[in-house]
Amino acid sequence: MLERFLSYSKSVRSLSEATVSAYRKDILKFLSYIKNQKINEEKINLSVARSYIAHLSKSGLSVETINRSLSALKRFYDYQVRYHGLKVNPFENIRSLKRNRKLPNFFFQHEMENLLSLPGEGFEGSRDRLLLEVLYSTGCRISELTGINISSIDIRNGIIRVLGKGKKERFVFLGPPALKSLREYLNFRKERLCCDDPDAGRALFLNSRGTRLTNRGAFYIIMKYIERAGMIKKASPHTFRHTFATHVLDRGADIRVVQEMLGHTKLSTTQIYTHIGVEKLKKIYRKAHPHAKRRDI
């Protein structure tokens, strides 16, 4: 049953490999739990479901991890209700745990400029510079970045068509610095391209062997420059996405336009970046106003 559900999630719902892998892990963990508790699968009900969520909470897992497990189990049993005659989804009426939403880290403009100045010359330097420029210019996820094909790029108009979560297409835009880096990199790319690999011929970003750069390879490259920059704050490739959203909203972009550019399904996901703007205003106020230091607004 589990393999059928995972196959359905991948082929019909077009979920990513990472999501399907997470589903497998979370569902197997629950099946192991009921086996250890000697609970028959046919006897799983709301009480069992609640006891399992309580078990996860007592295990010290984060709210995000517990909610991810709950989502996977809801999907799994909803699939059984819909296609395999199960009468009730035992997890259906369990609400996700409330989480204290932390404001994401982002780079200030001078930090961003410093990062972009670090790559050197040659194939690797031009590729790495373009990689950082595209992340900042578009707000792409790292998987979207490595999935970019040459045919998806409109250099003349500075537009890239990317494939996001759920295989949803959207358009993102390149600023002049990113376009300049792109043109420079394409010359080096021709020399490095592995002609025996059809996928490499399609890919924008190549590794040192001339084949498509993987998510892991891109992650390693980005973290190398973050470490080289001597960042004190916690940062990752996703910090570029947070930085993109923060900077464009701070400069007056409409939040629904930013939602579209980021590929967010829900506006509430994008709205967290407006809170970053509010926090920035608070700091300015506290620093500038004579009485602000005595108050917590």
pTM over 0.75: no
Identify the burial level of 241 via C-beta atoms within 10 angstroms of its C-beta, where 0-12 means exposed, 13-18 middle and 19 or more buried: buried
Same domain, 191 and 63: no
Residues 10 and 151 in one domain: no
Residue at a domain's end among 33, 48, 83 = 83
Quick: pLDDT tens for 88-109: 999 988 988 876 666 678 888 8
Number of folded domains in the chain?
A: 2
Averaged over 32-46, what is the pLDDT?
A: 89
Same-domain pairing of 64 and 195: no
Mean pLDDT score, 132-136: 94
Residue numbers of the domain that contains 148: 109-285
For position 271, which CATH number holds? 1.10.443.10
Residue 31, domain member (yes or no) = yes
Q: Is the residue at 141 inside a domain?
A: yes
**160 is a domain residue:** yes
Do 116 and 228 reside in the same domain of the chain? Answer: yes
The answer on 118 and 53 residing in a single domain is no
Residues marked active site are found at 141, 165, 238, 241, 264, 273
| CATH number, domain containing residue 21 | 1.10.150.130
